[in-house]
Structure 1
Amino acid sequence: MPSWTEHAIWWQVYPLGFTGAPATARPEVRHRLRHLEAWLDYVVELGCSGLQLGPIFAAETHGYDTVDHFRIDPRLGDDADFDSLVAEARRRGLRIILDGVFNHVGRSFQADERWFRRGSEGYEVFEGHQGLVALDHAEPAVRHHVAAVMNHWLDRGAAGWRLDAAYAVPASFWREVLGEVRARHPEAWFGGEVIHGDYARYVAESGLDSVTQYELWKAIWSSLNDRNLFELAWALDRHDGLLDTFVPLTFVGNHDVTRIATRLEDPRHLGHALAVLFTVGGLPSVYYGDEQAFRGLKEERAGGDDAIRPAFPAEPGGLAPDGTDVYRLHQRLIGLRRRHPWLVRAHTTAEHLTNTAVALRSRPRDGGGTEIVTLLNLGDEPHRFPIGQVDVAEPQRGVSDPAVVPAHGWSIVIQVTEEVGNSGKTGRR
């Protein structure tokens, strides 16, 4: 994994929705991509280190039905708009990751018919979506095309790629493509969308740097809703196993799922979800609007993604003030993570575990030093954790004893391990 990604925290944006672009393709060029430039200082102030962009290439509708990978969607602008965004981001120390939709294309994508997979009833499509025609990844021309697209936009300043529906593509295809692209861009990063299955095996076989950690995403909100923190502990144990081989992409929201503020049945538990995200290993991302406690329900129907892909105002000053507290909480938690960059590869163990209370201890992989302990209480009464002497990193208001977490509260404490005498053993203070 490129060294710069050890400190990566992404602000994920779906540009077509963010900029209020029309739902279907238009021939005229509208320079909406520049709308994002007004939000770059906001991203820096939030504490993120880069933008993870959704589809920006010419497409028929939602962007995942690409018709030209070498052209910016006219609804968003043109090459000059992209170059300007990259330059303004770079000036602020921000990197940009692009969304590569290379499993399927839109119906009007122009290519030799050998590029497409055929079934008994014509061209195969992606998961029943008739507008998404599946590419044939055994065809050499497809491999050369994908490598050329990746190199083109990396040449123009992108820092890497998030590969859409990577799970639907043979791992061997990515390995061949990435070998060619990395020869030209050794510092580029490549992450894939993988929902189910053996994450570690897919990373090893594909050569990707990372994949999406949907298993942990589900465990976070589900364990909070069900008041079953054993589920979270189980998922974190599996998560630690992944960290032995790669650093997963972690999140509590993205462009394909119901927003976390809507998903959680008890709004008091939003902070719990965020505390877990930012104190366990992984490459975390914040989906635009989640940091403002936006709500939105994903529905399985035409237009069912609209509620989770809204337009943003022209500039940050146009946001409603009722999201300020959650924004400030994101700032504090991201700040904590940036002060402890070892968290990217931290291993986390669940201690003092009950259905409604747990202490999550995150420690550096090399052992010793500072440890971050995240205390979660989902119960209706205060809970005392037997954690010893600690420094409080994110306290609960009005609580003098850091070992006591109020009902439906959470806190983050810091413990330091040090050698005890000459025994070579370590203890916590």
Structure 2
Amino acid sequence: MPSKQPSFPQGPRIYNLFPTLLGPVERWTERLPEIARMGFDWIFVNPFHLPGESGSLYAVKDYDRLHPTLRGDSNGDDDSNDDERLRAFTAAASDAGISVMMDLVVNHTAIDSDLVTEHPDWYVHDDGSVHSPSATDLDDPEIVTVWEDLAELDYSERPEREAVIDFFSEVIRHYIDLGFRGFRCDAAYQLPGKVWQVLIERAREAAPETQFFAETLGAPPDDIEQLRPAGFDALFNSAKWWDFRADWLLDQYQSFRDLAPSIAFPESHDTARLADESDGDSRESRFWYLFAAVFSTGVMMPIGYELGFRRRLHVVETRPEHWEEPSFDIRDFIGRVNAMKAETPILNEEGAQERFTAVDEPVVGLLRRSPRQAQHSAVLINPSFKEGQEYSRDHLIEILDCDADQLQEITPAFSDAAEGTSADAAAGDNPTSAIHLPPRSLRIFIANH
């Protein structure tokens, strides 16, 4: 972590703490020193509320009560100290230099929530029945998944909408009072931007520093665009699914970088574990975390990624007994990447970004320009699993429009045994002008003008 407070805005470096993998809230606190040592400045906690009968964390039955698993074995039904448990955790995180954000699920509730019977007019209805949300498979429109454990809230323009907004404004204020400083807004695109604008403005009246992060993955562009007036601090991008060739990721980045800065991740609680897909190859996990960290303003990583966990996180089934023996340990590498990001202004803002290599070239080059300061970055990526590649140093200097002595490499060492910046990659450089890129590697350069 940087030794002194940086003079430029910091993009969020987020550790996703999946609550039911750790269990009781007190155990969350035990993880704080390790999370801080890796250089994270935010912790994101998935829903920790009392779920409905389905048991899904995202089917919230009661926003004021903790999931029984998070209270401990001896007092799973005792909700009298729920607030104190959470307040103690956020205070300990703050002492460790970490802000805490919670998952904010406001587009639906559990179908068996008391709100469904107490306020049926808050919900969407189908032929008199409360509507359960659904999703259509993009590849096969005939495949429709209906989440029957959920009840969809109705945010259309009508008098009842104000009561729903008032309710969730109070939920947000309550958790601000407990020390939460951010909210990851699940399926944010499913609510009108004007609704989010009211919720965000009210939250910032209570605590001006509160931040809101929009989850918009897979949303149609128009649904994201309508969030523009809401005032989100960041949104999540789809860098995890890039093949390093297609244009769509850079197009997405360019389209929305002025709406809000974006956050990339190598895997999430909704995806398979990368360590499982790569059969425990730690280099693959290093490669994807480094790419996520340098592509956009923010970066997020789920619990267990640093230890090569292979079992997929599950919103219903995951429990503390699913904690795994590590496949590997890349905590030191994660710390080096986070330190590099924290110390480099251009990596903490959504500067204009473009590819400067042809689509069919073996090396992928990304150039990012700062809109606020005289700093550019260039990332060279070798996506090949087998072949090493080289790139002209002279050409890179030309791309960055700098003198040779202005070119600085900031790549953290992939190997924990290597000393200094990019020691393991630079060792293969051609002594003339070629930059060597081992298989599945990145090298990051900056130029200060």
| One-letter identity of the residue aligned with 2:341 | R
**Residue in structure 1 matched with residue 441 of structure 2 by the alignment:** 410
**Alpha-carbon distance in 2 for matches of 1:217, 1:373:** 16
**Alpha-carbon distance in 2 for matches of 1:99, 1:376:** 35
Number of aligned pairs? 383
**Residue in structure 1 matched with residue 340 of structure 2 by the alignment:** 336
C-alpha contact 1:275 1:374 (8 A) present in aligned 2: no
Q: How many angstroms does 1:200 deviate by?
A: 5.2
**Residue in structure 2 matched with residue 8 of structure 1 by the alignment:** 12
C-alpha contact 1:203 1:210 (8 A) present in aligned 2: no
2:45 matches 1:53 = yes
**Residue in structure 1 matched with residue 152 of structure 2 by the alignment:** 134
**Alpha-carbon distance in 2 for matches of 1:334, 1:408:** 22
C-alpha contact 1:123 1:133 (8 A) present in aligned 2: yes
**Residue in structure 2 matched with residue 25 of structure 1 by the alignment:** none
Q: How many angstroms does 1:297 deviate by?
A: 5.0
Q: How many angstroms does 1:240 deviate by?
A: 3.3
State the TM-score, normalized to the length of structure 2: 0.77
**Residue in structure 1 matched with residue 86 of structure 2 by the alignment:** 82
SS at match of 1:385: strand
Q: Give the stretch that moved more between structures: 155-164 or 288-297.
A: 288-297
Q: How many angstroms does 1:203 deviate by?
A: 2.9
Which among 255, 260, 271 is matched to residue 257 of structure 1? 271
Mapping of residues 8-407 of structure 1, within 5 Å:
8-19=12-23, 32-60=24-52, 61-77=55-71, 78-110=82-114, 111-120=118-127, 122-127=129-134, 128-138=146-156, 139=160, 140-195=162-217, 196-198=219-221, 201-214=225-238, 216-219=239-242, 223=243, 229-231=244-246, 234-263=248-277, 267=281, 269-297=284-312, 306=317, 309=318, 311=320, 320=325, 322-324=327-329, 326-345=330-349, 346-353=351-358, 354-366=360-372, 368-369=374-375, 371-378=377-384, 380-388=386-394, 389=404, 390-394=407-411, 395=422, 396-397=424-425, 398-401=427-430, 403-407=434-438
SS at match of 1:404: strand
| One-letter identity of the residue aligned with 1:399 | G
C-alpha contact 1:359 1:385 (8 A) present in aligned 2: no
**Alpha-carbon distance in 2 for matches of 1:269, 1:359:** 19
Pair 93,143 (structure 1): closer, same or farther in 2 beyond 3 Å: same
Q: How many angstroms does 1:377 deviate by?
A: 4.4
SS at match of 1:249: strand
Q: How many angstroms does 1:187 deviate by?
A: 1.3
C-alpha contact 1:237 1:348 (8 A) present in aligned 2: no
**Alpha-carbon distance in 1 for matches of 2:151, 2:252:** 35
Q: How many angstroms does 1:37 deviate by?
A: 0.7
Q: How many angstroms does 1:416 deviate by?
A: 2.2
SS at match of 1:366: coil
**Alpha-carbon distance in 2 for matches of 1:343, 1:392:** 13
Pair 58,4 (structure 1): closer, same or farther in 2 beyond 3 Å: farther
Q: How many angstroms does 1:266 deviate by?
A: 10
C-alpha contact 1:276 1:374 (8 A) present in aligned 2: no
1:214-240 CA distance string (max 9 Å, x none): 3x2321xxx1xxxxx322x54124313
C-alpha contact 2:58 2:315 (8 A) present in aligned 1: no
C-alpha contact 1:277 1:284 (8 A) present in aligned 2: yes
**Alpha-carbon distance in 2 for matches of 1:48, 1:141:** 37
SS at match of 1:361: strand
**Cα RMSD over matched residues?**
2.8
SS at match of 1:274: helix
1:155-179 CA distance string (max 9 Å, x none): 2211021111222223322222223
**Alpha-carbon distance in 1 for matches of 2:101, 2:9:** 11
**Alpha-carbon distance in 2 for matches of 1:6, 1:246:** 14
Q: How many angstroms does 1:79 deviate by?
A: 1.5
Pair 391,409 (structure 1): closer, same or farther in 2 beyond 3 Å: farther
| One-letter identity of the residue aligned with 2:131 | E
Percentage of matched positions with identical amino acids: 18
Pair 312,207 (structure 1): closer, same or farther in 2 beyond 3 Å: farther
Pair 348,295 (structure 1): closer, same or farther in 2 beyond 3 Å: farther
Pair 407,62 (structure 1): closer, same or farther in 2 beyond 3 Å: same
